[in-house]
């Protein structure tokens, strides 16, 4: 039986009850559904249609938009491997990153867009979706602050949402996985690096979570699709902020014999924001587990560990966000 995640009604006027539900969901699952989020179903259909149009282009056309040092653009199949303990050559998905669109200071780090004549109206649709989903994420963080028994403006007040690192990632999983691979995974097991992820899915099965990431063997549960909902999950940086009170849950995508599309928005703090264990998550029996860390430094180190390469501070400050996907 598929796992039914908690359902949070974004349109509810009872913020106290909503924040309590979010608190329980983040304690128990690290995942929940967000319904009535205000992104129209018809418009979301256009975004998915745009994603399909992009990935249906010939590979040589997509490679002209290859991901640059600003972490924007196309990532081909097998270009990355989330679970580095696996012996496969990489995850078979392909993806496309769109990063922050305001305040760019370095031209070479700007977003890459397919030509208008190739994909008419594509850029406008993606920019509008970026604006909508980031707005949802910022409002959701005010409810998460209440869930942590903080003032609802906490994340604004500490500077996390002043020019936050928000990245949109379009994802396409192939219909089937090659027999030459050592697993049937479209995306191998991982946790997200940052604050929260807002995921739109096309309805095709495949997403699984493992609530106890230190268990051996791991127990994986299939996440049911809820029509019209965004799937929200906690990232490692928020788990650190909450002193492991909220869980950043291990997850993966398995191949089901059907093409799968999803669109993830990774909403992370301004790189200069200092993340320290919250007073509301500390007690004598649960002292701080982590020292304070600057958000940009933390994410840069996670990238270095994942890719085995140095990511310079200039790149981070101009839009290098978390590399994680659903």
Domain ranges of the chain: 7-317
What does the pLDDT look like over 239-293, one tens digit per residue?
Answer: 999 999 999 999 999 988 899 999 999 999 999 999 999 999 999 999 999 999 9
- For the CA atoms of 71, 76, 78, 80, the dihedral, rounded to the nearest 10 degrees, stands at 0
Specify the residue for token string 């409002």: 139
What does the pLDDT look like over 163-179, one tens digit per residue?
Answer: 999 999 999 999 876 65
Q: What six digits make up the tokens of 139?
A: 């409002």
pLDDT at 108 over 90: no
Q: Which of 105-119, 149-163, 286-300 has the lowest mean pLDDT?
A: 105-119
Give the span between the Cα atoms of 77 and 48, in whole angstroms: 19
How is domain 7-317 classified at the CATH fold level? Answer: Jelly Rolls (2.60.120)
For the entire predicted model, the pTM comes to 0.90
Whether cis (ω within 30° of 0) applies to the bond prior to 217 is yes
Summarize the confidence of residues 100-118 as an average pLDDT: 74
Summarize the confidence of residues 207-223 as an average pLDDT: 90
Summarize the confidence of residues 228-242 as an average pLDDT: 97
To the nearest whole number, what is the mean pLDDT of the chain?
87
* Closest C-alpha among 198, 153, 121 to residue 15: 153
């Amino acid at each position: 039986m598929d796992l039914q995640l908690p359902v949070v009604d974004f349109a509810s006027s009872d913020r106290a009850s909503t924040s309590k539900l979010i608190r329980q969901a983040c304690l128990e699952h690290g995942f929940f559904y967000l319904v009535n989020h205000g992104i129209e179903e018809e418009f979301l259909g256009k975004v998915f249609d745009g994603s399909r149009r992009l990935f249906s282009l010939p590979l040589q056309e997509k490679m002209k938009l290859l991901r640059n040092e600003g972490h924007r653009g196309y990532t081909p199949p097998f270009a990355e491997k989330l679970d580095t303990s696996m012996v496969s050559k990489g995850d078979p998905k392909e993806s496309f990153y769109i990063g922050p669109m305001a305040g760019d200071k370095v031209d070479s780090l700007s977003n890459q867009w397919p030509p208008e004549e190739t994909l008419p109206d594509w850029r406008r649709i993606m920019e509008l979706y970026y604006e909508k989903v980031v707005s949802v994420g910022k409002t959701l963080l005010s409810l998460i602050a209440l869930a942590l028994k903080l003032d609802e403006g906490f994340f604004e007040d500490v500077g996390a949402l002043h020019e936050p690192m928000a990245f949109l990632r379009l994802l396409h999983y192939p219909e089937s996985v090659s027999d030459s691979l050592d697993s049937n995974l479209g995306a191998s097991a991982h946790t997200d690096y940052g604050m929260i992820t807002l995921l739109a899915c096309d309805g095709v099965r495949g997403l699984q979570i493992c609530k106890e990431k230190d268990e051996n063997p791991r127990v994986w549960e299939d996440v049911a699709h809820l029509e019209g909902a965004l799937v929200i999950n906690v990232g490692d940086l928020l788990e650190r902020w909450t002193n492991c009170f909220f869980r950043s849950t291990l997850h993966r995508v398995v191949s089901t014999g059907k093409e799968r599309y999803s669109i993830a928005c990774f909403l992370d703090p301004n790189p200069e924001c200092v993340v320290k264990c919250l007073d509301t998550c500390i007690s004598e029996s649960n002292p701080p587990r982590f020292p304070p860390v600057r958000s940009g430094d933390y994410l840069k180190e996670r990238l270095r560990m994942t890719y085995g390469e140095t990511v310079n501070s200039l790149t981070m400050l101009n839009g290098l966000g978390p590399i994680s996907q659903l």
